[in-house]
């Protein structure tokens, strides 16, 4: 028999589309760069394996890597040290370690709608109740503080935020960050800030929650930064007392993060600036292309994403996002239906522009044909 907490969890809408796809389908559904990790990182991994770094390491991560991560935040928080840092097996595990550490059964957790697919199931897995707050196009997909005030109850334990955001692409301006910190403070909430896209910003700039307020935890990842989604490495930056507690949950899930992968990332953090900025420049160019194309398709409107690497167009067809995505799938294009990210995503599709240019062109051609067929169908009816 399977425990209720797992049998009641559904497989994510992203995975469902991926697994139902016909062979050869263009995949704009998964959020992963089509780049390979920078060569310095690949070489350092091979070297680490040859150097026999193939064994367990400290559960919070290699000291040198924790220090390097602390350095990354030193200019925004001069007090940050390796004691604030835990190296995780990706952002996903970092988020789960936070859920296990912070939420008791019966607690409520404020999560974005639409928001990344792990926040709600992870809260449920530990017996907490996810309480969605709205991100709508009319408010540039930014949290509405008045609504947050209405959603908070004596049982609310934490606020989860995500900027640059998946799937909406919004990037919080300074004023939003300040107001969210004040809100969390006022209600004694721990603030969990998912910043895995912090290097992918095209308008404005990223403002980290690291060191802001007494209870802000940053979850980050090397997955997108180094195009190494399959290597599974990320990190948490938290106030020291919380880091000690999170490390217990982390230890009981993974024992320690991968030792050779940590050695590889350590080499990359100091060195791979060119590869990282080339990847960013390419994403920026693809973003222009994708948004421009989509905005000339009948029935679709796309706000240019300020960050991350997703277009999140709204459609005006009388259909659900699942049926539109299902129809596109039959035509050979994998997208993610917006309602996979929450109820308010119901009239949106998410398309990743981290895919290669030829794939983007093929995918956009399928989407254009579909939008024209939908217009034809409406005219006839």
Please give the residue ranges that form the binding site for ligand PLP (CB under 6 A): 31, 90-92, 116, 162, 166, 194, 196, 221, 223, 229, 234
Question: H or E segment at 289?
Answer: helix 273-294
Select 257 or 371, whichever has its Cβ closest to ligand PLP. Answer: 257
Residue 310: CB minimum distance to ligand PLP, A: 9
Residue 371: CB minimum distance to ligand PLP, A: 26
Select 121 or 374, whichever has its Cβ closest to ligand PLP. Answer: 121
Among candidate residues 231, 235, 230, 232, the one with its CA nearest the CA of residue 198: 235
Cα distance from N-terminal residue to C-terminal residue, the chain? 50
Residue 91: CB minimum distance to ligand PLP, A: 3
Residue 111: CB minimum distance to ligand PLP, A: 12
Residue 38: CB minimum distance to ligand PLP, A: 17
The whole-angstrom separation of Cα 51 and Cα 43 is 12
Q: How many CB atoms lie within 10 A of CB 67?
A: 14
Q: What is the DSSP string of 142-206?
A: ---HHHHHHH--TTEEEEEEESS-TTT-----HHHHHHHHHHHHHTT-EEEEE-TTTT-BSSS--
Select 97 or 333, whichever has its Cβ closest to ligand PLP. Answer: 97
CB 185 within 8 A of CB 216: no
Select 237 or 366, whichever has its Cβ closest to ligand PLP. Answer: 237
Residue 325: CB minimum distance to ligand PLP, A: 18
Select 13 or 317, whichever has its Cβ closest to ligand PLP. Answer: 13
Residue 153: CB minimum distance to ligand PLP, A: 26
CB 351 within 8 A of CB 313: yes
Select 177 or 297, whichever has its Cβ closest to ligand PLP. Answer: 177
Measured CA distances, 309 to 47, 68, 269, 305, 336 (Å): 31, 26, 21, 8, 13
Q: Where are the beta strands (DSSP E) in the chain?
A: 26-27, 85-88, 108-113, 129-134, 156-162, 190-194, 216-221, 234-237, 300-301, 310-311, 314-315, 333-334, 336-337, 349-352
Select 180 or 374, whichever has its Cβ closest to ligand PLP. Answer: 180
């Amino acid at each position: 028999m399977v425990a209720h907490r797992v049998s009641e969890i559904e497989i994510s809408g992203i995975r469902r589309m991926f697994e139902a796809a016909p062979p050869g389908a263009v995949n704009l559904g998964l959020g992963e760069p089509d780049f390979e990790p920078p060569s310095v990182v690949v070489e350092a991994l091979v070297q680490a394996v040859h150097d026999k770094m193939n064994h367990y390491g400290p559960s919070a991560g290699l000291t040198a890597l924790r220090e390097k991560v602390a350095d990354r935040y030193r200019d925004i928080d001069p007090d940050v040290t390796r004691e604030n840092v835990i190296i995780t097996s990706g952002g996903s595990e970092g988020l789960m370690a936070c859920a296990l550490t912070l939420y008791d059964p019966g607690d409520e957790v404020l999560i974005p709608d639409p928001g990344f697919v792990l926040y709600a199931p992870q809260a449920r897995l530990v017996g907490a109740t996810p309480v969605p707050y709205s991100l709508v196009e009319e408010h540039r997909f930014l949290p509405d503080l008045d609504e947050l005030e209405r959603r908070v109850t004596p049982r609310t334990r934490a606020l989860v935020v995500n900027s640059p955001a998946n799937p909406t692409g919004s990037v919080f301006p300074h004023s939003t960050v300040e107001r969210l910190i004040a809100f969390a403070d006022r209600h004694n909430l721990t603030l969990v800030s998912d910043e895995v896209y912090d290097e992918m910003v095209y308008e404005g700039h990223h403002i980290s929650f690291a060191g802001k307020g007494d209870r802000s935890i940053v979850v980050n990842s090397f997955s997108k930064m180094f195009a190494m989604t399959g290597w599974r490495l990320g990190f948490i930056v938290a106030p020291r007392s919380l880091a000690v507690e999170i490390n217990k949950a982390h230890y009981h899930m993974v024992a320690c993060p991968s030792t050779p992968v940590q050695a590889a990332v350590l080499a990359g953090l100091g060195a791979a600036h060119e590869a990282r900025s080339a990847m960013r420049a390419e994403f920026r160019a693809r973003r222009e292309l994708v948004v421009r194309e989509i905005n000339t398709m009948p029935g679709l409107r796309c706000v240019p994403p300020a960050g991350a690497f997703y277009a999140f167009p709204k459609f005006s067809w009388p259909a659900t996002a699942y049926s539109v995505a299902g129809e596109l799938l039959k035509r050979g294009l994998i997208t993610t239906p917006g309602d996979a990210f929450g109820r308010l995503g119901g009239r949106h599709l998410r398309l990743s522009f981290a895919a290669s240019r030829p794939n983007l062109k093929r995918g956009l051609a399928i989407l254009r044909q579909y939008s024209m067929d939908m217009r034809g169908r409406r005219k006839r009816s």
